[in-house]
Amino acid sequence: MKRIGFGQVEPNHLSAQRTGQIYAQLPVDKDVESLQILENGRFVKYNYAENKVDLEGKGEWMLVFNEVKLYDHRETYKDFALRASEAVNNEITPRVFKTNIGDIFTTNCLEKGNTDGRTEIEMTDLEAGDELGINAEGYLEKDAESDIKFQVVKVYTLADKQEAVKVMRIA
């Protein structure tokens, strides 16, 4: 599998849209360089006790799913990510969704990040039945050790014809 640009999410069945388990109050930890560009489909820890979004701590892993804002008609969803360098005071406050067992979404944000939004990212080929966990950088990855698990239910494509997977949370 491969993707060009930033990660994307299609919310097929996310319970947070009905339960209100959507949060957008904590800023990203400025000391974590890899979080200064935050793409949809990545997972972050909502570390409420420390008043920050980071990759460590006791907060729960939450799905980054920001409202896509494109101001240039030549851009598409693959061109969108929150960037601290473009934010007021270089501080971003992402919108994150709690995922529950049974939640389903489609994404191409797997294994690793994209720092410029243009590079082609090579990813492991996946097939229905594969189990994914959340790796230390907050990306879904086959065989990653995490308490939260997803299963690939379908190998799919996004609206822009990029390869993606439809996943369901199973643990």
Please report, in tens digits, the pLDDT of each residue of the chain (171 residues total).
Answer: 999 999 999 999 999 999 999 999 999 999 999 999 999 999 999 999 999 999 998 889 999 999 887 777 777 889 899 999 999 999 999 999 999 999 999 999 999 998 888 889 999 999 999 999 999 999 999 999 999 999 999 999 999 999 999 999 999
> Sign of the CA dihedral 48, 49, 53, 57?
negative
pTM, full prediction: 0.95
Q: In terms of DSSP bridges, do strands 120-122 and 2-4 run parallel, antiparallel, or are they unpaired? A: antiparallel
Q: Report the 10 Å Cβ neighbour count for 112.
A: 14
